[in-house]
Structure 1
Amino acid sequence: MSLTTYGSKSSSSMLVRRGVSLQRPLQFAIMAGDFLLILLSYVAANQIRRKFMATLAERELSVGVALLVATAFVAIAFFRGCYDNHNLANTSWQLRKASSVWLLSLAILAFSAFLLRSTAELSRITIVLFAAAGLVGLGAHRAIWRLALNSSFARRHSVKRRVVLISGEPLDFTSSRFKDLRKNGFQVVRHFVLDATLKSDDAAIERELTTIIRISRTASADEFLLAFNWNDLPLFQHLSQCLRQVPNPVRLLPDFEIADLVSRPFVPIGGSVAIEIQRAPLSVSERALKRGVDIGLASFGLLFLAPLLVMTALLVKLDSPGSIIFRQTRRGFNGGLFDIWKFRSMTVSENGSEIKQASKQDARVTRIGRILRKTSIDELPQLWNVLRGEMSLVGPRPHALAHDNYYDQMIGNYACRRHVKPGLTGWAQVNGLRGETPTIDLMKKRVEFDVWYVTNWSIWLDIRIMIRTVVTLSGQDVY
């Protein structure tokens, strides 16, 4: 067994007590800040209405409205973990949670007013101003706390969790996971590496563990971290049993394979638990939500872009002989065939068993076609495919049948892309994998992003992809 020591060896029981005593005041301070901020938002909303809209005959809102909303928000946010220490520095998560809890708190206000038959007493203008001010204020409050927690002063004075680390092999303390540990207040005060020759000797392991526990007690350790890989799971189970003699928390710091497994959803089956390795196609409610977004945005897009579509059609017709719309057979959801629509951008209309991908400076691309492909205007007719239900606004990009047949044989998980409808844009495209894929490695990377999208789908991910597509589209050069 080898031993590596980090940090000071001095006893720190006072530090442990101080750590417990400082964590709760921090949570109470943020909770109190939210409560007071909501009250101030109400006061500000009421003052704005009185100053700028005094001519309107609106009733004066009771301060009880703000107290009800503030109490509901703080209580719900507390039970959803918004004030937990490990969540305070995650700004994006905090903003999402705060927004949803704020809307739920306002819904509770509306429901309470309905039950008490006092909806007529509520000032609609003040409520709208209150809702907007509260949302902005809560978001700013979290951004300020994030800056405060990340400041050099906070890092110098933050209370550290004194950790004893046990591993089956030497570790790289410059890796991202150990940077995350230090960033979140975990201080490795002792590191024990178990000798490989001891792993099959239970008695030797227990003797070494007795030594580890004795040294850890003198270091006033707060908890134990066990860093093992998939092959060392039997050793981890034995160690976790032996560590039951100490009152400290014992946690597993997993490698990539274990971390990927435990991050997946758990499904209870009677008294057993199953891990979801691959999610099923979207549920009925998820498909309905995604379809509703597709129909609404595609309809709006076709109406809003109608002048551009007409002008593009005329330019394609005048630029070169041939049809305006190019149709090509593609595979959609579950391998079903459909004809994808595009503005014709090339002098050929290939749809056979052999199709050559367009490349940079491809002689087959027309003058207008080069502009259309660069700006992705040639893809706009696919809004019609979306309305017909053959495609979605967001999903893995469909490939020509010739390419599908080829990559199906070359890439093992290629078919997983068809677990959802193909899209006008996708997770791979907004991560730089657009246009030509001349090598198998590039296509494998695209497939990895597509499969990740299928596994992690949410409506918020779709919205994020659409926003990133609009932001980055004009700067891309696609052929």
Structure 2
Amino acid sequence: MSLTTYGSKSSSPMSARRGVSLQRPLQLFIVAGDFLLILLSYAAADLIYRRFMATLAEREPPVGVAFLVATAFVAIAFFRGYYDNHNLANTSLQLRNTSTVWLLSLAILVLSAFLLRSTAELSRITIVLFTATGFVGLVAHRVIWRLALSSSFARRHSPKRRVVLISGEPLDFTSARFKDLRRNGFQVVGHFVLDPALKSDAAAMKRELASVVQSSRRAGADEFLLAFNWRDMPLFQHLSQCLRQVPNPVRLLPDSEIADLVSRPFAPIGGSVTIEIQRAPLSVGERALKRASDISLASIGFLFLAPLLIITAIVVKLDSPGSIIFRQTRRGFNGELFDIWKFRSMTVSENGPEIKQASKEDARVTRAGRILRKTSIDELPQLWNVLRGEMSLVGPRPHALAHDNYYDQMIGNYACRRHVKPGLTGWAQVNGLRGETPTIDLMNKRVEYDVWYVSNWSIWLDIRIMMRTVVALSGQDVY
């Protein structure tokens, strides 16, 4: 066993207790801020209602409403650990948790009013305004704290979560996962490297672990992090059993392979637990929601873009001989074939077993076609494919059949892209992977983004992609 310690000045139990004592006032300060903010949100909602909507005959609102919701919110958030320093620095986690706890607190209000038969005393409009103002205020409060905690001053003076790291081999402390730990308030005060050969000698392992525990107590450790890979799992299992003698939290810091596995959804089947390696195509409800948004937004798009579509059709016809609309066979959901629609931007209309991708300064691209490709206006007729149900507004971009057949052989998970309908735009496109793919590595990267989208679909992700698409189209050349 080898031991590396970090920071002799702060390695005493006294400094560990000081870190804890500094963290608790910070938590209480944020808790008090949330409580006060919820009270003010209710007062603001009531003021708006009385100023613009209420009649003189309406009674005074119950003040206890705000206290009940505020108490429920901070109690749930506190006992769930949402006020911990490292959780406050995680913006996406805070937004999800805030939304969930806020809705749960309001549900407690409704249930309490029902049980106490006092629903008649509540103003529905005030509660709606309170819901909106409270949520906006709580989110703003967390954004402010996120900016404050990420400042250089806060990083230097904020209390650290002192951890002892145990691994089966030397580690690279310059890697991304250790940088992420330091950025979120974790300080490694000791690193123990255990010899894997110890797993065959129970007595030696017991002595080594006793030394680890003793050293960790002297360092004032708040918790233990176990960094192991698949090869070290027997050692990890033995170690986790031995560490039950300490009251500190024990966490697994997985390598990339284990992290990918444990980040996937878990599902109980009777008394067993399964891990979802690949999600099924969208459920009936998810498909219905996605289809409804496609139809509504595509219809609105056709309505507002009609003048642009007409002008573009005229320009394409006058610029070069040939049809206005270019049709090419593509594969859609589950490999079903369909004809994709585009404004013609080239002098050729290839749709055979061999198709050459358009490239920069391609002589086949017409004068008008260069503008259409740069602005992606040539893709707008695909709104018709969306309305027909062959495509979606968001999804993996469909490729020509010749390219599909080629990449199916070269990239193992290429076919996973067809688990959802292809889209006008996609996760790969808003992350810079648009246009020509001259190398296998570039296409493989695009496929990785597409497969991630299929596995993590949500209506909010679609909205995010559509918003980013508008920004991504500015100033980018697509061929």
Task: Identify if the C-alpha distance between structure 1 residues 307 and 165 changes in structure 2 by more than 3 Å, giving closer, same or farther.
Answer: same
Aligned twin of 1:424: 424
Alignment of 1:247-262 (within 5 A): 247-262=247-262
Aligned twin of 2:275: 275
1:346 aligns with 2:346: yes
Q: Secondary structure at the match of 1:191?
A: strand
Per-residue Cα deviation, 1:83-123 (whole angstroms, up to 9, x for no partner): 34432112233234434554565677678778958569627
Aligned twin of 1:244: 244
CA contact (8 A) 2:198 2:204 kept: yes
CA contact (8 A) 1:61 1:123 kept: no
Cα deviation, residue 17, structure 1? 4.4
Task: Identify if the C-alpha distance between structure 1 residues 150 and 364 changes in structure 2 by more than 3 Å, giving closer, same or farther.
Answer: closer
CA contact (8 A) 1:59 1:121 kept: no
- Tell me which amino acid in the other structure corresponds to 1:248: N
CA contact (8 A) 2:196 2:235 kept: no
Cα deviation, residue 294, structure 1? 1.0
CA distance in structure 1 between the aligned counterparts of 2:112 and 2:313, rounded to whole angstroms: 56
Cα deviation, residue 242, structure 1? 2.5
Aligned twin of 1:220: 220
Alignment of 1:148-167 (within 5 A): 148-167=148-167
CA contact (8 A) 2:394 2:423 kept: yes
CA distance in structure 2 between the aligned counterparts of 1:214 and 1:82, rounded to whole angstroms: 31
Moved more, 126-135 or 221-230: 126-135
Q: Secondary structure at the match of 2:352?
A: coil
Per-residue Cα deviation, 1:256-301 (whole angstroms, up to 9, x for no partner): 1011111111111111111111111111111111111111111111
Cα deviation, residue 327, structure 1? 1.0
Moved more, 217-226 or 405-414: 217-226
Aligned twin of 2:444: 444
Q: How many residues align?
A: 477
User: Gapped runs of 5+ residues in structure 1?
Assistant: none
- Tell me which amino acid in the other structure corresponds to 2:341: W
- Tell me which amino acid in the other structure corresponds to 2:293: V
Aligned twin of 1:374: 374
- Tell me which amino acid in the other structure corresponds to 2:93: W
Q: Secondary structure at the match of 1:32?
A: helix
CA distance in structure 2 between the aligned counterparts of 1:111 and 1:208, rounded to whole angstroms: 55
Alignment of 1:35-184 (within 5 A): 35-48=35-48, 53=52, 59=58, 62=61, 63-74=63-74, 77-78=77-78, 82-99=82-99, 101-102=101-102, 122=123, 124=125, 129-184=129-184
Moved more, 110-119 or 198-207: 110-119
CA contact (8 A) 1:60 1:123 kept: no
How many percent identity over aligned positions?
82
Alignment of 1:459-474 (within 5 A): 459-474=459-474
CA distance in structure 2 between the aligned counterparts of 1:252 and 1:104, rounded to whole angstroms: 30
CA distance in structure 2 between the aligned counterparts of 1:319 and 1:393, rounded to whole angstroms: 29
Aligned twin of 1:326: 326
Cα deviation, residue 144, structure 1? 2.1
Moved more, 365-374 or 10-19: 10-19
1:311 aligns with 2:321: no
Moved more, 65-74 or 285-294: 65-74
Aligned twin of 2:384: 384
Cα deviation, residue 48, structure 1? 4.9
CA distance in structure 2 between the aligned counterparts of 1:428 and 1:351, rounded to whole angstroms: 24
Task: Identify if the C-alpha distance between structure 1 residues 341 and 185 changes in structure 2 by more than 3 Å, giving closer, same or farther.
Answer: same
Per-residue Cα deviation, 1:422-455 (whole angstroms, up to 9, x for no partner): 1100111011110011111111111111111111
- Tell me which amino acid in the other structure corresponds to 2:383: L
- Tell me which amino acid in the other structure corresponds to 1:424: L
Per-residue Cα deviation, 1:10-58 (whole angstroms, up to 9, x for no partner): 774444445555555444432332221122123334445666x499768
Aligned twin of 1:2: 2
Cα deviation, residue 339, structure 1? 0.9
CA distance in structure 1 between the aligned counterparts of 2:203 and 2:300, rounded to whole angstroms: 71
Cα deviation, residue 397, structure 1? 0.3
CA distance in structure 1 between the aligned counterparts of 2:119 and 2:399, rounded to whole angstroms: 58
CA distance in structure 2 between the aligned counterparts of 1:95 and 1:469, rounded to whole angstroms: 23
Cα deviation, residue 323, structure 1? 1.4
Cα deviation, residue 362, structure 1? 1.2
CA distance in structure 2 between the aligned counterparts of 1:10 and 1:438, rounded to whole angstroms: 54
User: Gapped runs of 5+ residues in structure 2?
Assistant: none
Q: Secondary structure at the match of 2:341?
A: strand
Moved more, 13-22 or 405-414: 13-22
CA contact (8 A) 1:15 1:159 kept: no
TM-score (norm 1): 0.90
Cα deviation, residue 472, structure 1? 1.5
CA contact (8 A) 1:59 1:123 kept: no
Cα deviation, residue 135, structure 1? 3.3
Cα deviation, residue 165, structure 1? 1.6
CA distance in structure 1 between the aligned counterparts of 2:10 and 2:25, rounded to whole angstroms: 26
Aligned twin of 2:188: 188
CA contact (8 A) 2:13 2:219 kept: no
TM-score (norm 2): 0.90
Task: Identify if the C-alpha distance between structure 1 residues 81 and 163 changes in structure 2 by more than 3 Å, giving closer, same or farther.
Answer: closer
CA distance in structure 2 between the aligned counterparts of 1:135 and 1:246, rounded to whole angstroms: 40
